[in-house]
Amino acid sequence: MFLDISDDQDALLTTVSAVLARAKSRLVLGSGKASFDLELDADLDKNGVLDAASYPEFGVSTAALIVHEVCRSASITEVGASAVIRPLICSDAPRPLAVLTGDPGQAVRFLPVARAVLVLSEAGASWFPVSPDDIEVVDSYFAYPMGRIHDPERCLARSRSVADPMLARRLAQLAVAAEISGVLQGGLDAVVEHVTDRRQFGRPLGTFQSIQHRLAACASKIAAAKWLAFKAGSGSATHADAVTALAYAQTVVDPIVYDLHQFLGAMGLTLEHPLYRWTYRAKLLKSEFGGASRSNRELADLAW
């Protein structure tokens, strides 16, 4: 066992940090909720960090670590599917990727910017390339660009199946778990900063025990979600490990998102503060794969 960042991973994270710092300098707040940083997407790709899962010295745990760190940033890009699934399942698919797990006509995150769609269903897994003509952009309630496929049947007709659909599903579940731990961590970081600086009643908000305890409880849940996701990427991990990570992460979203918004006060309800960029990603991620209820049941079925 070695439950820490290795030197190699640390070097990779240094690259990721530099990429994210460039993204932060471009970040403009205050406009619409849905957002996508195409430059960040290209920068991550160019620096090779999205391929880590396929390198023996790194593997899927490292990909989950990258996903966690990128999602911790207020800048939004497609990293979960590209870092965790694509290198092992469909490395020839162009990216960004959108992942379709339910009704092919439903609104899906990243579709307006996606160049390929990965389809995961009971029947198997496949992917097909898409162009903007295939997509109808929908008004997004979440902090992701959302879209719908005009003609799912036509797109599905050109899909190519992937070799190991069970692995594809497992990696997709793990990717969402790592995304959730990352966005919740990013939100927590921002709220900790806020309650440290903001003073009321003559003292920083963060000195009030009710706030301290609830943020500490959030921290424990987020740390656990993160390590469960990393563990689910290890060499001996099973499908149950990925579903454990997903089920746990989806379960903790609601109480954490509530607390994060609560302690930012009215500021957290504005588009001037980036909090929504984390919480309105978490609010969609918690419903992936049928949501916490389905994921916990899937875990029970796998475990027993």
Partner 1 sequence: MNFEWSAREQAFRDEIRSFLARELPPDWEKIARHGPGSKQQTEFSRVFCTKLAEAGLLVPHWPKEHGGRGSSVWEHFILGEEMWAVGEPRGPQYMNVNWIGPTILRFGTAEQKARYIPEIAAGNAVWCQGFSEPSAGSDLASLRTRADRDGDHFVINGSKVWTSYAGLAQHCFLLARTGGSRKDGICIFLIPMQTPGITVRPIPALVGNGDLHEVFFQDVRVPVSSMLGEEGKAWSLITYALANERIGLPRYQLSTRVLGEMVEQLKANGSWNDDIVRFRAGQALAASEAARMLVYRVVDQRSRGLPPNAESSLARVAIVEADHAVANFALDFLPEAFSGDVLPLLKPHHERAIAAGIASGAAEIQLGIVASDYLNLPRS
What's the closest the beta carbon of residue 241 comes to partner 1, in angstroms?
8
125 by DSSP, 3-state: which?
Answer: strand
- Positions touching partner 1 (CB under 8 A) are 1-6, 9, 61-62, 65, 192, 195-196, 203-204, 206-209, 211-213, 215-217, 219-221, 223-225, 227-228, 230-231, 234-237, 244, 247-248, 251, 292-293, 295-301, 303-304
CA distances from 89 to 93, 108, 161, 163 (A): 9, 20, 10, 7
Region of residue 250 (left: phi > 0; alpha: psi -120 to 50; beta: else): alpha
The token pair that represents 130 in the structure block: 């898409």
What's the closest the beta carbon of residue 53 comes to partner 1, in angstroms?
13
The token pair that represents 187 in the structure block: 């939100």
What's the closest the beta carbon of residue 188 comes to partner 1, in angstroms?
8
What's the closest the beta carbon of residue 209 comes to partner 1, in angstroms?
7
What's the closest the beta carbon of residue 255 comes to partner 1, in angstroms?
11
Q: Which is nearer to partner 1, 280 or 289 (CB)?
A: 289
147 by DSSP, 3-state: which?
Answer: strand
Residues 6+ apart with CB under 8 A from 154: 134
The token pair that represents 210 in the structure block: 């009710």
Q: Which is nearer to partner 1, 1 or 266 (CB)?
A: 1
Q: Which is nearer to partner 1, 4 or 153 (CB)?
A: 4
Q: Which is nearer to partner 1, 41 or 259 (CB)?
A: 259
* Beta strands at 97-100 and 108-109: parallel, antiparallel or unpaired: unpaired
Q: Which is nearer to partner 1, 90 or 172 (CB)?
A: 172
